[in-house]
Amino acid sequence: MNKQSNIYTVIYIIVMVVVVGAALAFTSMSLRERQTANANADKMKQILASVKIAADVDNVAELFNAHITEMLVVNSKGEVVKKGDANDMAIFNIDVAKEAKTAEAERQLPVYKCVLDDGQVKYILPVSGSGLWGAIWGYISLDDNGSTVYGAYFSHASETPGLGAEIAKDDFQDKFVGKQFFVNDTFLPIKIMKSGQLPNDESDYVDGISGGTITSKGVESMIDNCLRPYEAYLRNLK
């Protein structure tokens, strides 16, 4: 075949596209299992961080299985609709961001039951929302009274360094420790307030991030939207 002809050029391009496409598809399939494993490990690490358990890539699975004794799905009525152990991927993989956008009565609400080394039981609840520039998410752990915050972990996709991105720092997350979701037997999600300001109700609150007002309010809205459907379940714990 004449290598200078248009037909040769077209055939050559088609062959190259097929070969390169096949190579990319093979590479993607080969790495998918590892990518999924890495994503799961990172999620486990974040969940454990909310109960102050530090983990790394080498021990995160072991620690998760040792401390997360049960995973549940509850509904807005406080009913447990599914139970599983730490290996129940159907519960583990619930898309909290998607659930947060559906009606409360229709949501699948994951609960991670954690037992610490000293026997204390904590309940970890996931949250997901929007900051200034993109997605924010996290996990809040509660004591077994269903009200007192034991720990919190927040992260973000693209918030501004030094401003909204501060939600991922210990200085901000530690402010939530000891705060209450039930005040005088009324469920009141924790507020994020500008320094010197107070909520207009009896809600517990933390000071927001200086210069990161929109992201701070995003965290407040995220907590309200994601945790309010858990009220009946948490009241049952009380």
Q: What is the pLDDT of residue 113?
A: 98
Task: Classify each residue of 208-231 as buried b or exposed e, where b means 16 or more C-beta atoms within 10 Å of its C-beta.
Answer: bbeebebbbbbbbbbbbbbbebbb
Q: What is the DSSP string of 155-217?
A: EESSPPTTTGGGGGSHHHHGGGTT-BSEETTEE-PPEEE-TT---SSS--EEE--TT-HHHHH
pLDDT digits (tens, 9 = 90+) for 71-122: 999 999 999 999 999 999 999 999 999 999 999 999 999 999 999 999 999 9
Q: What is the pLDDT of residue 27?
A: 57
pLDDT digits (tens, 9 = 90+) for 174-191: 999 999 999 999 999 999
3-state secondary structure of 134: coil
pLDDT band at residue 32 under the 50/70/90 scheme = confident
3-state secondary structure of 222: helix
pLDDT band at residue 35 under the 50/70/90 scheme = confident
Residue 29 has pLDDT above 80, yes or no: no
Structure tokens at 122: 């904590």
pLDDT digits (tens, 9 = 90+) for 43-77: 999 999 999 999 998 999 999 999 999 999 999 99
Phi/psi of residue 225, nearest 5 degrees: -65, -40
Residue 31 has pLDDT above 60, yes or no: no
Give pTM, 2 decimals: 0.86
